[in-house]
């Protein structure tokens, strides 16, 4: 079937305005937040209701055409790119908050609802949606579910998987299934937990029931600066080992600090510091939170903090956080392109791994800036580069591979919150054997026997052992 | 060759334990690889295998050609107090594991129903969280990864050993609460907490209605108790219903929360507190049937009424703020099936946690699915146990 004929059939479902076939229109969807992968989709369709999503998927099932679900396209693993004739289904028009239930601290939303909008809508009830990826002003809850997104405050409150109660999912056949229950208890095995983080391979979530969290009554935000990266890493370990669970515990290195301070997001971070830690403590009782903040300040001093500043008011807190949350944007000043990497290591390995990464950057002649969730050991080494420079691109790939290898060697993993997508496929065999990859592939085929949903992502098929029992 | 002779040739004499009263050969592989070898052989030979831990939770009564017990898988290969992670084999008793962790200043915030020696694998496979679910989440929230062996002897790793991980699909979630239908868990990577410096329990006695209201008020006040449990008089061994509040953390935080509770509660001494929670856990391992249901918090009272009406409420423990209720007692297959249907209409799942085999096989651990999910569960079972070697009553009749 030609793209034109397919577009006509899709237009009959969603209306001609919501099907994109012109190259300039499709180019908008050729990349996500990671500049190293580009795939121009043949057809892009934007359904506006769950019924339209079902009708589109049924049509594609009848025709045997693969498809890729996509939210706001802020992903950082090339996971929402369509290739080889796959249709891109963009879900941003399904953006209604269907219900907020303050008594049960839950909400029912469509997948295209923007993360920050949900928290804004629930704030009058004293509630918020806790997972807060840096892209939360743009990214969608559906995308968060697909990627099992994290964020700074996931240290205390948990990642997306900890906040999804139930899902309505459209499978590749167009059949609808309901996973989970309004209270979050599974019907049998935890299929919600299995679906979250499956990167769109198991189907399209059309309705998402989320858990909401009470807004903290007392908050303290501390900024500590260090003259050595290692000392900052040791400060992180000291806080965790003391049994204190901050709401967030973030680290930025000097390169990142300077990029932020040079930008419109300048937060007053000391420019000469080797690293800063942003520590947030929250709770119900002001005195108790202050006592924890004092304890944290003491631990950081012992670890070598040069100075510790506490946000005096909400305005200063927001400013400190803006610098952190917009750090990726600020790093755009350093070079034309930026690869935001993602890996996790045991927390105690942070000081060593950060030194190793600095060595890798020097060896490949690249600028690598670190801004990351130190409390979780979730690193984000950001590599600045110029994508038009072929030689530099090759060095970026080599450095990325070396960073992944270093994190794996330290007992860590290749992604903590960005997903595998296209970008990390090649690293999967480094952490999973053929049997385990085969098991993942077999599970995918339970949900999608023909492998038509988001093909070519997450599991490298060549590295899987055959599973005879697969349907 | 008999099954016993074949197993002896495969795993050696050390793996053969004394059979139970039903004379089913009991095999205790000494390593994850031995589990894989045994299940691979069972798959080829067409043997039906029931899986046991310490044998203190589910009765060892499923009809099978052999019983595989994980009790020799009791090593703790890694405890990392600095990272608050640990790796333990599935057959270790939770009491032993707790002690080893405490020695290193670490704590696993799970307090499942059952006897103290229940195995880690049993707790994970049945996802039986206790009262600490209120403050620290369900069992799955404490898992960083698991290694399991499928019904045809394949060893599969899922997840990892670090705090966050989204590499590949999360098969750990399938194993937590899978009741062993999707494989035998052999190794568990755990997320720990620092051993709390303060851990106190306060009790309030009263009518169920009064205490439910107090629990709602506490939840709405912003207090974050580790446990907020409403316990029936028989289970609490008191004259009236009891609301138990457990506060855990730094002395400062706990003191602040204690002040927030007000003066109505009675504080327990450390040994009284320990005894209270242990009795509660053990109370669910005594009567023949135990199940859990999970609704929305605001429906807790209505669900307790429903249970009282349909199966009685003598042995009940509920976390009203989390919507979780656990019931124990003696009841019939008919009543359980009727209750499950009633609850399903309210979108409340009933999970049969513990019962004699005739009840398990008639009712099923899972039993009811929402639209379209049944075929997925069946597909996953075929994937992870293609020959049907693992004897698990998932669906009932």
CA distances from A25 to A22, A45, A60, A140 (A): 5, 11, 21, 21
Q: What is the pLDDT of residues A98-144, one digit of tens each?
A: 999 999 999 999 999 999 999 999 999 999 999 999 999 999 999 99
Contacts of A391 (CB under 8 A, 6+ apart): none
Domain B3-69 has CATH 3.30.43.10: yes
One CATH from 3.20.20.70, 2.60.120.20, 3.40.50.1980, 3.30.70.100 for B289-355: 3.30.70.100
Task: Please identify which residue in the block is written with the tokens 């009840």.
Answer: B359
Q: Does A347 touch chain B (CB under 8 A)?
A: yes
Residue of A nearest to B386 (CA): A469
Pairwise CA distance, residues A301 & B183, whole Å: 49
Pairwise CA distance, residues A168 & A85, whole Å: 27
Q: Which two tokens stand for residue B274?
A: 């320990």
Domain boundary residue, one of A187, A214, A241: A214
Listed by start position, the domains of chain B span 3-69, 78-194, 198-283, 289-355
Q: Does A99 touch chain B (CB under 8 A)?
A: no
Instruction: Provide the Cα torsion B115, B121, B124, B127; round to 10°.
Output: -50
Q: Which two tokens stand for residue A27?
A: 């180019």
Domain boundary residue, one of A214, A234, A264: A214
Interface of A with B in 233-272 (CB under 8 A): 237, 240-245
Contact, A424 vs A199, CB < 8 A?
no
Q: Does A431 touch chain B (CB under 8 A)?
A: yes
Domain range enclosing A76: 3-90
Q: Does A468 touch chain B (CB under 8 A)?
A: yes
Residue A471 confidence (pLDDT): 44
Quick one: which H or E segment has residue A310?
A: strand A307-310
CA distances from A331 to A192, A377, B140, B314 (A): 36, 21, 37, 62
Contact, B187 vs B87, CB < 8 A?
yes
Interface of A with B in 279-338 (CB under 8 A): 283-285, 287-288, 291-292, 295
Tens of each residue's pLDDT in chain A, 471 residues: 788 899 999 999 999 999 999 999 999 999 999 989 999 999 999 999 999 999 999 999 999 999 999 999 999 999 999 987 999 999 999 999 999 999 999 999 999 999 999 999 999 999 999 999 999 999 999 999 999 999 999 999 999 999 999 999 999 999 999 999 999 999 999 999 999 999 999 999 999 999 999 999 999 999 999 999 999 999 998 998 888 999 999 999 999 999 999 999 999 999 999 999 999 999 999 999 999 999 999 999 999 999 999 999 999 999 999 999 888 888 888 899 999 999 999 999 999 999 999 999 999 999 999 999 999 999 999 999 999 999 999 999 999 999 999 999 999 999 999 999 999 999 999 999 999 999 999 999 999 999 999 999 999 999 999 886 554
Pairwise CA distance, residues A49 & B243, whole Å: 46
Pairwise CA distance, residues A172 & A63, whole Å: 12
Q: What is the pLDDT of residues B274-328, one digit of tens each?
A: 999 999 999 999 999 999 999 999 999 999 999 999 999 999 999 999 999 999 9
Segment B193-199 shows an average pLDDT of: 94
Contact, A357 vs A403, CB < 8 A?
yes
The ipTM (two decimal places) reads 0.97
A469 domain-assigned: no
Segment B4-17 shows an average pLDDT of: 94
Q: Which two tokens stand for residue A367?
A: 């600028």
Number of compact structural domains in chain A: 5
**Nearest CA among B142, B138, B143, B125 for reference residue B365:** B125
User: CB–CB of A154 and B257 under 8 A?
Assistant: no
Four-residue CA torsion sign, A457, A460, A461, A464: negative
**For residue B76, pLDDT beyond 80:** yes
**For residue B380, pLDDT beyond 70:** yes
Task: Please identify which residue in the block is written with the tokens 């990272």.
Answer: B83
Contact, B369 vs A187, CB < 8 A?
yes
Q: Which residues of A386-413 are buried (b: 16+ CB within 10 A; e: fewer)?
A: ebeeeebbebbeebbebbbebbbebbbb
Of B127, B171, B348, which has the smallest distance from its Cβ to A440's Cβ?
A: B171
Same domain, A110 and A201: yes
Domain B78-194 sits in CATH at 3.30.465.10
Residue A199 is classified by DSSP as: T
Same domain, A192 and A152: yes
One CATH from 3.40.1000, 3.30.70, 2.30.30, 1.10.1060 for B198-283: 3.30.70
Pairwise CA distance, residues A123 & A296, whole Å: 28
Contact, A337 vs A387, CB < 8 A?
yes
Contacts of A417 (CB under 8 A, 6+ apart): A133, A147, A148, A149, A150, A151, A154, A159, A342, A378, B164, B166
Q: Which two tokens stand for residue A100?
A: 């907020």
Residue B19 confidence (pLDDT): 82
CA distances from A181 to A138, A186, A209, B290, B374 (A): 28, 6, 9, 21, 15
Residues in chain A closer than 8 A to B156 (CB atoms): 435-436, 439
């Amino acid at each position: 079937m030609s793209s034109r004929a397919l577009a006509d059939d899709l237009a009959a479902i969603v209306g001609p305005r919501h099907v994109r076939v012109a190259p300039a229109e499709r180019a908008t969807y050729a990349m996500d937040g990671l500049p190293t992968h580009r795939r121009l989709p043949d057809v892009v369709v934007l359904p506006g209701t769950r019924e339209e999503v079902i009708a589109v998927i049924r049509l594609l099932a009848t025709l045997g055409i693969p498809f890729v679900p996509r939210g706001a396209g802020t992903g950082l693993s090339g996971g929402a790119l369509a290739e080889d004739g796959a249709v891109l289904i963009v879900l941003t028009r399904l953006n209604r908050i269907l219900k907020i239930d303050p008594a049960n601290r839950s909400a029912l939303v469509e997948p295209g609802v923007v993360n920050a909008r949900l928290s804004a809508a629930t704030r009058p009830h004293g509630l918020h949606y806790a997972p807060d990826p840096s892209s939360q002003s743009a990214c969608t809850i559906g995308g968060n579910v697909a990627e099992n997104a994290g964020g700074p405050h996931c240290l205390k409150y948990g990642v997306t998987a900890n906040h999804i109660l139930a899902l309505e999912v459209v499978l590749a056949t167009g059949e609808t299934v309901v996973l989970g229950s309004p209270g979050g208890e599974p019907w049998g095995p935890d299929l919600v937990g299995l679906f979250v983080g499956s990167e769109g391979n198991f189907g399209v979530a059309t309705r998402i029931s989320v858990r909401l969290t009470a807004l903290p009554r007392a908050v303290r935000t501390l900024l500590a600066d260090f003259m050595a990266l290692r000392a900052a890493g040791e400060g992180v370990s000291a806080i965790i080992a003391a049994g204190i669970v901050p709401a967030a515990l973030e680290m930025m290195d000097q390169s990142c600090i300077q990029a932020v301070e040079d930008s419109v997001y300048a937060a007053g971070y000391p420019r000469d510091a080797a690293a800063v830690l942003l520590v947030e403590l929250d709770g119900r009782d002001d005195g108790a939170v202050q006592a924890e903040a004092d304890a944290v300040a003491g631990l950081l001093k012992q670890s070598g903090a040069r100075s510790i500043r506490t946000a005096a008011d909400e305005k200063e807190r927001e400013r400190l956080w803006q610098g952190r949350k917009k750090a990726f944007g600020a790093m755009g000043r350093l070079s034309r392109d930026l690869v935001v990497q993602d890996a996790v290591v045991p927390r105690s390995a942070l000081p060593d791994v950060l030194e190793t990464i600095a060595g890798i950057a020097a060896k490949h002649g690249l600028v690598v800036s670190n801004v990351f969730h130190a409390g979780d050991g979730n690193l984000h080494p950001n590599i600045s580069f110029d994508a038009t420079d072929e030689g530099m691109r090759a060095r970026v790939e080599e450095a990325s591979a070396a960073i992944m290898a270093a994190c794996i060697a330290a007992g860590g993993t290749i992604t903590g919150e960005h997903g595998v997508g296209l970008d990390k496929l090649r690293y999967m065999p480094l952490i999973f054997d053929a049997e385990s990859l085969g098991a993942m592939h077999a599970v995918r085929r339970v949900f999608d026997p023909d492998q038509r949903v988001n093909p070519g992502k997450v599991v490298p098929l060549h590295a899987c052992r055959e599973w005879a029992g697969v349907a | 060759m008999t099954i016993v002779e074949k197993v002896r040739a495969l795993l050696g004499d050390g793996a053969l334990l004394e059979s139970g009263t039903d004379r089913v050969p009991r095999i205790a592989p000494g390593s994850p690889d031995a589990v894989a070898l045994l299940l691979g052989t069972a798959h080829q030979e067409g043997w039906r295998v029931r899986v046991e831990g310490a044998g203190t939770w589910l009765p060892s009564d499923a009809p099978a050609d052999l019983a595989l017990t994980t009790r020799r898988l009791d090593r703790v290969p890694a405890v990392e107090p600095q990272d608050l992670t640990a790796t333990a084999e599935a057959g270790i008793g939770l009491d032993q594991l707790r002690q080893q962790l405490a020695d290193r200043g670490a704590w696993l915030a799970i307090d499942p129903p059952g006897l103290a020696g229940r195995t880690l694998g049993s707790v994970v496979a049945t996802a039986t969280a206790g009262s600490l679910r209120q403050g620290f989440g369900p069992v799955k929230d404490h898992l960083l990864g698991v290694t399991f062996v499928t019904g045809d002897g394949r060893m599969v790793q899922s997840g990892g050993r670090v705090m966050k991980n989204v590499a590949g699909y999360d098969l750990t979630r399938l194993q937590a609460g899978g009741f062993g239908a999707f494989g035998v868990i052999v190794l568990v990577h755990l997320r720990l907490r620092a051993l709390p410096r303060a851990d106190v329990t306060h009790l309030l006695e009263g009518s169920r209605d009064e205490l439910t209201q107090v629990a709602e008020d506490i939840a709405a006040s912003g207090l974050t108790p580790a446990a907020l449990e409403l316990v029936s008089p028989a289970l609490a061994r008191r004259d009236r219903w009891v609301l138990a509040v457990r506060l855990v953390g730094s002395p400062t935080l706990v003191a602040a929360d204690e002040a927030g509770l007000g003066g109505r509660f009675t504080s327990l001494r450390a040994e009284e507190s320990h005894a209270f929670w242990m009795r509660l856990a053990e109370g669910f391992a005594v009567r023949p049937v135990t199940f859990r249901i999970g609704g929305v918090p605001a429906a807790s009272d209505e669900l307790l009424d429903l249970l009282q009406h349909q199966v009685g409420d003598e042995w009940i423990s509920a976390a009203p703020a989390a919507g979780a209720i656990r019931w124990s007692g003696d009841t019939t297959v008919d009543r359980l099936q009727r209750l499950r249907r009633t609850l399903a209409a309210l979108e409340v799942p009933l999970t049969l946690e513990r019962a004699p085999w005739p009840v398990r096989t008639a009712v099923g651990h899972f039993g009811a699915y929402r639209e379209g999910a049944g075929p997925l569960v069946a597909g996953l079972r075929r994937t992870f146990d293609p020959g049907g070697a693992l004897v698990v009553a998932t669906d009932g009749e």
